[in-house]
Structure 1
Amino acid sequence: MTALFPTYKRFDLAVERAEGTTVEDTDGKTYLDFGAGIGVCNLGHRHPAVQKALEEQLERYWHVSNLYHNPIQEKVAALLTANSSGNQVFFANSGTEANESAIKLARKATDKHKIISFEQSFHGRTFGAMAATGQEKIHAGFGPMLEGFSYVPFNDIEAVKAAVDGETAAVMLEVIQGEGGLHMADSEFIEQLSHVCQENNLLLIVDEVQTGIGRTGKPFAYQHYGISPDIITSAKGLANGVPVGAMIAKESLRDTFGPGTHAATFGGNPLAMAAAEAVLTNVFKDDFLQEVTEKGTYLKKQLEEMIGDLSFVSSIRGKGLMVGIECSQDVSAVVPQLMEKGLLVLVAGPTVLRLLPPLTVSKCEIDQAVTLISEALTGKKVETH
């Protein structure tokens, strides 16, 4: 009997320690981690620069009210705005809170209440973020959702146009749907969507909670599409495991969120900011991001060579080190099989194996992971040299 609510279907693994790409359980067994805390530990577990930043901040102070200036918030905000289309940052504690902030900002800035989002999307589990999520299973059991959200098919620009009316404030999307199955936006669709937003004075909100902070080989995934969102949300990889969220918005929206309009007691906590500064200083470097791109290409190439010809593997897709293996059958049983072999992976819906290794993963570790995945899917031992 546990005192915890059974909100998670937990695997039979209790973590004792972790470092780099390795997780060790309480029995001393080690695992290669290709989940990274669901795309959180982008620099790997206990990265030296992040740990040092946290230790130094612990010696200064842990928390002060946001009624006072916290200089480290300014440093992190500057790094985020210098590497995005935004100019202003609001710090929260999670991706859900960042998306909740984006919804509030869009509705208040436009004085309109409707937001278009997409089928198979995922934006969080508070009532606003849950209502923005285009998955019925997320809504089930909670009664009426927050009004004003409509869900249209992903990559369908005509459906977006049909959903726009005089009360539409914004369009909200992930350019790569993470939880929804690693579905990628088409370049032409994103270009047309940007035009639709401009023509109708709609705000464009891009949820980068999972795709941001170098995961796809750029600071933010929308930058592969050449667009300029009005609002960007970030969280998972931002502080390498310390809870944090950020909403980044354009200068024109600054005055919408004046004193008393929105707040978070722990938002921009000094410890989270110290970790985030260390993360961004390391990740937002051209050579680091180029390595992510190269390793992502290598991972997909190795997967194609090892399992691409299997009859039940429908596609291998993704960007950078965010990769999905779609199968024609349920893959939920594969996850514990891989765990038994010493590899931690994720799913994205019932038929997609999701790989989100630390961005610091080596090609040797990629080879190890691909070999284990091949063995699990084929039931055959792979000889390595």
Structure 2
Amino acid sequence: MSLFNVYPLFDITPVSAKDVYVYDENNVEYLDLYGGHAVISIGHTHPKYVKAISNQVQQLGFYSNAIQNPLQNQLAEKLKSLSGCKDYQLFLCNSGAEANENALKLASFHNGKHKVLAFNNGFHGRTSAAVAATDNPKIVAPINAQQEVDFLPLGNLKAVEKILQQNKTCAVIIECIQGVGGLDQSTTEFYQGLEQLCKQYNTTLIADEVQSGFGRTGDFFAFQKHQITPDIISIAKGMGNGFPIGGILIHPSIKASFGLLGTTFGGNHLACAASLSVLEVIESEQLMQNAKEIETYFREKAQTLPGLKTIKGRGLMLGLEFDFPISDLRKKLIFDQHIFTGSAKNPNLLRILPPLTIQKKHIDLFFEALINELNTL
């Protein structure tokens, strides 16, 4: 049986990894500045992470949500402590798309409305409503297109109000820093205005923190810089450091009832053990502070790059925007310099999403390699 060929693959086969490095079958060492789409938050094979999963699987790897699972309560408490989102409730699932799917469904249950408002260049997943709210028609099938979604430019409050006053929109979903779309973000004035409009028109505000959460921006969540209180917060990627887990944080104004949401694998024992270890390492190794410090160093080093238009993003969710397409440059970094980086919807943007454990010496290696390749273009 062959694989269903939907991924354009680089000819590299990783077989092991440690912290910020990945090793292929020929023992070639690659500096990982992409973390598998921002998934690797505390570094590959972190010893505390490996120990937590190993110990848990020896005891109990899985049972359904029909029984008590104290690990879920421990995870909720640790999340409350570290994120500062003290009054929220936690529902656990398996991925970012599933998190956003449940967030949109819950919003519609809550206020009885059916439309969604999303923003240009946003990405929220590949499932039913989540993909319909993603600004990429190429991945929206006809069955997904039955969802009613309005797309607006980021930052336009007047256009938002014009849509919301029609009283059909159940949710506004937004990435406070766009990921796949190209690391665009708006102003605090816009995000605070958006929150006020959602309250005024009984619309659920969903902060998609799937990529930007769990300390990646230097704050636990990207929205916290803007001092807003979303109704629902979706989480995944860095939450499990590679183990599949996602979830939504739900404001207490939204009430639970039996059967409202459900999942077979979500919040299983192994997933909870993985995420608990991630939170413990983020806290004990002060990785949010490290994200801020490395961002400052990164920006300083980037100032002298030839052809650079701007530096985008925040914390360790960064992008270098050049005045030319970066596709060839990215390939040279992988195959000639042995450094993983990422691309975006913006063809000129090189995305940098390393493990939060990255150090200044790794940034030095990257810029040395990048300058060498830029000088050959």
TM-score band by shorter chain is: over 0.9
Partner of 2:321: 326
Partner of 2:119: 118
Letter in 2 for 1:320: G
Matches within 5 A, 1:210-225: 210-225=211-226
CA distance in structure 1 between the aligned counterparts of 2:198 and 2:283, rounded to whole angstroms = 29
What SS is found at the alignment partner of 1:346? coil
Partner of 1:52: 51
Letter in 1 for 2:120: E
- Pair 1:32-2:31 in alignment: yes
CA distance in structure 2 between the aligned counterparts of 1:155 and 1:286, rounded to whole angstroms = 36
Structure 1 residue 135: Cα displacement: 2.2
Partner of 1:345: 341
CA distance in structure 1 between the aligned counterparts of 2:271 and 2:302, rounded to whole angstroms = 35
Gaps of 5+ in 1: 381-385
Letter in 2 for 1:243: P
CA distance in structure 2 between the aligned counterparts of 1:43 and 1:286, rounded to whole angstroms = 9
CA distance in structure 2 between the aligned counterparts of 1:65 and 1:43, rounded to whole angstroms = 28
CA distance in structure 1 between the aligned counterparts of 2:151 and 2:193, rounded to whole angstroms = 18
CA distance in structure 1 between the aligned counterparts of 2:146 and 2:248, rounded to whole angstroms = 21
What are the Cα deviations for residues 189-246 of structure 1, in whole angstroms up to 9, with x where unaligned?
Answer: 1121112112222211000000000000011111111111110000000010000001
Confirm or deny: 8 A CA contact 1:300 1:317 kept in the other structure: no
Structure 1 residue 186: Cα displacement: 1.6
CA distance in structure 1 between the aligned counterparts of 2:144 and 2:237, rounded to whole angstroms = 28
Matches within 5 A, 1:265-276: 265-276=264-275
Deviates more, 1:119-128 or 1:162-171: 162-171
CA distance in structure 2 between the aligned counterparts of 1:332 and 1:155, rounded to whole angstroms = 29
Structure 1 residue 328: Cα displacement: 2.5
Matches within 5 A, 1:182-331: 182-255=183-256, 258-284=257-283, 287-305=286-304, 307=305, 310=306, 312-331=307-326
What SS is found at the alignment partner of 1:205? strand
CA distance in structure 2 between the aligned counterparts of 1:247 and 1:24, rounded to whole angstroms = 34
CA distance in structure 1 between the aligned counterparts of 2:60 and 2:309, rounded to whole angstroms = 51
Structure 1 residue 144: Cα displacement: 5.5
CA distance in structure 1 between the aligned counterparts of 2:148 and 2:38, rounded to whole angstroms = 30
What are the Cα deviations for residues 17-60 of structure 1, in whole angstroms up to 9, with x where unaligned?
Answer: 11110000111111000011110111010011111101110111
Structure 1 residue 99: Cα displacement: 0.3
CA distance in structure 2 between the aligned counterparts of 1:146 and 1:304, rounded to whole angstroms = 46
CA distance in structure 1 between the aligned counterparts of 2:79 and 2:371, rounded to whole angstroms = 38
CA distance in structure 1 between the aligned counterparts of 2:200 and 2:144, rounded to whole angstroms = 32
Structure 1 residue 378: Cα displacement: 2.5
CA distance in structure 1 between the aligned counterparts of 2:215 and 2:90, rounded to whole angstroms = 18
Matches within 5 A, 1:99-110: 99-110=100-111
Partner of 2:97: 96
Partner of 2:2: 3
Partner of 2:359: 362
CA distance in structure 2 between the aligned counterparts of 1:376 and 1:161, rounded to whole angstroms = 47
CA distance in structure 2 between the aligned counterparts of 1:376 and 1:46, rounded to whole angstroms = 30
Confirm or deny: 8 A CA contact 1:115 1:170 kept in the other structure: yes
Change (3 A) 1:134 1:277: same
What are the Cα deviations for residues 125-175 of structure 1, in whole angstroms up to 9, with x where unaligned?
Answer: 011110111222332x54551322111011221221122121122211000
**Length-normalised TM-score, structure 1:** 0.93
Change (3 A) 1:38 1:56: same
CA distance in structure 2 between the aligned counterparts of 1:106 and 1:378, rounded to whole angstroms = 51
- Pair 1:23-2:19 in alignment: no
Change (3 A) 1:11 1:169: same
CA distance in structure 2 between the aligned counterparts of 1:254 and 1:35, rounded to whole angstroms = 38
Q: Paired residues, what number?
A: 372
| Stretches (4+) displaced over 6 A | none
Change (3 A) 1:154 1:284: farther
Gaps of 5+ in 2: none
Confirm or deny: 8 A CA contact 1:121 1:134 kept in the other structure: yes
CA distance in structure 2 between the aligned counterparts of 1:135 and 1:112, rounded to whole angstroms = 24
Change (3 A) 1:184 1:285: farther
Letter in 2 for 1:369: F
Structure 1 residue 264: Cα displacement: 1.0
Change (3 A) 1:358 1:286: closer
Confirm or deny: 8 A CA contact 1:300 1:323 kept in the other structure: no
CA distance in structure 2 between the aligned counterparts of 1:10 and 1:208, rounded to whole angstroms = 27
The one of 367, 373, 377 equivalent to 2:370 is: 373
What SS is found at the alignment partner of 1:265? coil
Confirm or deny: 8 A CA contact 1:72 1:273 kept in the other structure: yes
CA distance in structure 2 between the aligned counterparts of 1:9 and 1:325, rounded to whole angstroms = 23
CA distance in structure 2 between the aligned counterparts of 1:210 and 1:111, rounded to whole angstroms = 28
Structure 1 residue 284: Cα displacement: 4.0
Partner of 2:62: 63
